[in-house]
Structure 1
């Protein structure tokens, strides 16, 4: 993910915010001189630019990822299948840093960062309802494993849909690159979970 963190657009946007010049609206940021992380005197090749789709992607993906991390933590405590625990470990390792990355972009763009639980009641694509999360928390044994995999497949499918929208409608290069990465990684994990589901007991 290092190359995404160093993407010119994200760097310029964050540094513009630090120097108080990122007063842009929901559509696009105005052109401004940019600088990289290493040397404030070194210009970048392009000015930071983002649009409303980029903001929506980051704002929605943060709580989406937060719920996935919560589900991963549950699996690490309760799952009885090694494959489920391995998936939970991988999901948490990938998505927790992406939450920080997306939060940094929103801050750099002068946009609010969602707080944990802020969107818990939303019907965002693939998000589990509070009742579903409660049911998952109460499940035990092999039924927990099956319920977790079924829910995480749905959750990943929602994230893939959001990532596709960003690639079609977004403008910020770093955001679009992250969306492509999310789509690729989570599509692979969906296939893995679908295969695993066939091996888990149904009762």
Structure 2
């Protein structure tokens, strides 16, 4: 339902109806997770070269590898669903999605400044991904999509734990953006 609440409704094109096993939540979840993971990957990949905390760079490398693996499976699910890759979320900045501004700031940052950008954006991405996966798991219909959502949720929980070990979450400053919640 959270996916539908943010206007994420899959839009099939004429002649390509979704496979009957995939409902609107399934396809909306897939179409949202792909660009979210792509953006997070753009932030995680340069971490080892940014002269920051080596342990955080190693976490970013592991996260990047998981994102690449998730993207392969998500694109496979999209193809299986019969929904074309129309990129309905292209250019959007949504809760948990690494923003273009964040990528721009990260592109010039090194050391502790980069680590801070990476930590904040990665934590928001992982937290939102886990919530979206919970919505897919409860509201989705396609067994394969629900299984993938459960797997991604487990993976993100593990990555959040690793991140918390390296950089415990700090209280949000008043007026800051918070991830959308699942009803």
* Both structures adopt the same fold (TM-score exceeding 0.5): yes
Asked if residue 137 in structure 1 is aligned to residue 107 in structure 2, the reply is yes
Q: Residue 84 of structure 2 corresponds to which residue in structure 1?
A: 112
Structure label with greater radius of gyration: 1
Other structure's SS at 2:149 match: helix
Other structure's SS at 1:113 match: coil
Q: Residue 73 of structure 2 corresponds to which residue in structure 1?
A: 101
Quick check: 2:47–2:57 contact (8 Å CA) kept in 1? yes
Asked if residue 149 in structure 1 is aligned to residue 142 in structure 2, the reply is no
Q: Which moved more, 1:157-166 or 1:88-97?
A: 88-97
Higher relative contact order (CA 8 A, sep 6+): 2
Which structure 1 segments of 5+ residues have no match? Answer: 1-21, 30-48, 199-203
* Aligned-residue offset at 1:23: 5.2
Which structure 2 segments of 5+ residues have no match? Answer: 1-14, 169-183
* Aligned-residue offset at 1:122: 1.1
Q: Normalising by the residue count of structure 2, what TM-score does the alignment of the two structures yield?
A: 0.76
Quick check: 1:120–1:130 contact (8 Å CA) kept in 2? no
Quick check: 2:48–2:54 contact (8 Å CA) kept in 1? no
Q: Deviations over 1:46-93 (max 9, x none)?
A: xxx111111011100001111111111121321422211211121121
Q: Residue 177 of structure 1 corresponds to which residue in structure 2?
A: 147
Q: Residue 19 of structure 1 corresponds to which residue in structure 2?
A: none
